[in-house]
Structure 1
Amino acid sequence: MIRTVRRTRRLLQVAAGGAAALLALSACSSSGSDSSAGPDSSGPGKLSGEVTVFAAASLKESFTTLGERFEKEHPGTKVTFSFGGSDSLAASITGGAPADVFASASPKTMKIVTDAGDASGRPSTFVRNELEIATLPGNPHKIASLEDLSGSDLKVVLCDKTVPCGAAAQKALDAGRLDLTPVSYEEDVKSALNKVVLKEADAAVVYKTDVKAAGDKVEGVEFPESADAVNDYPITLLKSSRNTETAKAFIGLVQSAEGQKVLGAAGFLKP
């Protein structure tokens, strides 16, 4: 009888222990399920840290606006820009300069980066840009065409031929079978435009976006040959990126409807 009681107690203890173990296992499973369903793990993680963007000079105004919006939408992030001639920026990237994103003013300068193996993935075109003649306010020299810039006493400035805006200008001149000798070749489109703003030149062949950004400091003159020299603008994540997720998010903003609205307002054409 005593043995039977002891055996019964032992069986009850084993059953109780098993039930406790099952309850503990169930609790752990439930806890893990709740964690994975929480807001921090089901969606993308919170973005933070600094992103360095190398971008063509013509993107300065619109990208600065987008950078400010990005930082506002993602507290704890900082977007730092380096604007300049696309060829110089590409050379800096292939030379080891730390950057997360590259936005170029032409596929040719982007190819410098991709050929060097410094791009992560395939670059994508996000906008296009067209040329325009920037003249002094009021257009005192009555410039009406690209041809008016050649064979005259006008002081005309062009971007260097290695820079996308300079290569595009040469393409437009070739399309019109025109020859033009500028008073200077500038390192980027902003430098070329600034010569007119400072009245050191009578005209410059720049992008429509730069004429628009300058406001009443210059006057723009359209010319038909510009249709033969429209530049595609590609953007890419760089392999040297130290903040990949945040960099990808910035590229996403540029390509989004919101980003395209800002770029379109600046005068850029859709890709």
Structure 2
Amino acid sequence: MSVPLVLAGCSSSGGATTSSGELSGSISVYAAASLTEAFKTIEQQFTAAHPGTSVTLTFGASSDLSTQISQGAKVDVFASASEKNMKALASQATSPTDFVKNRLEIAVPPNNPAHITSVADLARSGVKVAVCDPAVPCGVVAQQVFTNAKITVKPTANEADVKSTLAAVESGEVDAGLVYVTDVRAAGSKVTGIPIPGGVNASTTYPIATLKGAPNPALAKAFVDYVLSADGRKVLTADGFAQP
């Protein structure tokens, strides 16, 4: 199981609004690892727009985060890379809203040592491939791509989440990895992306929701509203996410 990455300072606290009606306090947001770059930007913009507030971002595999919430983690907002993991929290999530979609791309080291040019090349003998664990959303989508392409791939590495899969490519541990388009973009010159044709590719839809019993429901709702706003969509689109 992956260890979530926690960013920003404070833990969730009460304090929904000040006496003047302004938002205050802090919230805890659990989000899929693939949202790391976009949500860091959104968090900065949101807290700048609401002085005196803070947002703790915890990133990891959606399946792991969902389990932690179901086991009692004090969380205000959950953004999942899979509707399945959100549905597992049906009794705890308040009105989940689909806000983006993501699709896969092949990531290879910049020099592309295995000369990968297509999904079919991932099934070649001797090619080292990393994918996400089948239990997490990016692993589910990767298996769908292999099914669509009618190939059998025996991964060298099944990683905890998409960032770990990308890291295996960046380090040269593997010849290729199946990650999201957004992660290839975030990696910049550290990897080269090889697009997957639409007829073979697969995507996943991301829902976001406030959680019942959120310690700071007013700030939680405001954060979700910001993610769904034009400003939030602008950040997500710039990072390569598609509209659902």
Q: TM-score, normalised by structure 1?
A: 0.81
Corresponding residue number in structure 2 for 1:119: 93
Counterparts of 1:55-204 in structure 2 under 5 Å? 55-114=31-90, 117-120=91-94, 122-204=95-177
More strand by share: 2
Cα gap change, 1:268/1:210 in structure 2, threshold over 3 Å: closer, same or farther? Answer: same
Q: Percent identity?
A: 48
- 8 Å Cα contact 2:149-2:200 kept in structure 1: no
Q: Residues 152-209 of structure 1, C-alpha deviation per residue, up to 9 Å, x if partnerless?
A: 2111100001100000000111111110000110110000000011111111000000
Query: What letter corresponds to residue 119 of structure 1 in structure 2?
Result: A
Q: How big is the shift at 1:219? A: 0.4
Query: What letter corresponds to residue 220 of structure 1 in structure 2?
Result: G
2:124 is paired with a residue whose SS is coil
Q: How big is the shift at 1:226? A: 6.9
Corresponding residue number in structure 2 for 1:209: 182
Cα gap change, 1:227/1:255 in structure 2, threshold over 3 Å: closer, same or farther? Answer: farther
Corresponding residue number in structure 2 for 1:267: 240
Query: What letter corresponds to residue 46 of structure 2 in structure 1?
Result: F
CA distance in 1, matches of 2:188, 2:32: 20
Q: How big is the shift at 1:139? A: 2.3
1:252 is paired with a residue whose SS is helix
CA distance in 1, matches of 2:107, 2:201: 18
CA distance in 2, matches of 1:215, 1:167: 25
Cα gap change, 1:240/1:215 in structure 2, threshold over 3 Å: closer, same or farther? Answer: same
- 8 Å Cα contact 1:175-1:225 kept in structure 2: no
Q: Does 1:253 align with 2:226?
A: yes
Cα gap change, 1:178/1:160 in structure 2, threshold over 3 Å: closer, same or farther? Answer: same
Q: How big is the shift at 1:140? A: 3.2
More helix by share: 1
- How many pairs does the alignment contain? 227
CA distance in 2, matches of 1:160, 1:119: 25
The higher radius of gyration belongs to 1
Unaligned runs of 5+ in 2: 1-17
